[in-house]
Amino acid sequence: MDYKITDYKGNELHKGDRIRVGMDLGTIVEISDPDGDTNSYGELVGINPTITVEFADGERENYTLNWTAKGPWDEDAPFQSDDVEKEDD
C-alpha cells in the first residue's frame, strides 16, 4: 500500500487497528485499494478505498474513505474517514 489512510484526527489507520465509530468499538479487518474506472460517457472515475470494520457482535460495516487532496499536485494526500476514530493503544 503506497497511500496513507487516516481517521478524522489525522491518525494513520492500518488493518488490525481498534477504532471507535460513534459509541461502538470495532477492529479494521480489511482495507480495499483505490481504483479507477470509466463511466458510461467514457470519463475517468476514481473509486475510493473502503475499510471494513468488525464489531464485537460480529457485525461488519464498510466505510468509504475520502481523498483529502487540494488539487492534482497533492497526490500524496491521505484518504480519510470522517466516521471513525483510532483508539489509543
* Number of domains, the chain: 1
Question: Is the torsion defined by CA of 82, 19, 54, 36 positive or negative?
Answer: positive
- Residue 72, beta-bridge partner list: none
Residue appearing with cell numbers 461488519 = 60
> Pick the residue with more confidence: 9 or 73?
9
Q: Rounded distance, CA 6 to CA 85, Å?
A: 9
Q: How confident is the model at residue 1 (pLDDT cuts 50, 70, 90)?
A: low
User: Rounded CA gap, 38 and 56, in Å?
Assistant: 38
Q: Which of 63, 49, 54 is nearest to 16 (CA)?
A: 54
Statement: residue 13 has pLDDT above 90: yes
Domain containing 57 equals 5-66
pLDDT above 80 (res 85): yes
Residue 12 lies inside a defined structural domain of this protein = yes
The answer as to whether 86 is a domain residue is no
In a domain, 78, yes or no: no
Average pLDDT of the chain, as a whole number: 87
Tell me which of 78 and 86 has the higher pLDDT. Answer: 86
Indicate which CATH number applies to the domain containing 57: 2.30.30
C-alpha cell read off for 13: 489507520
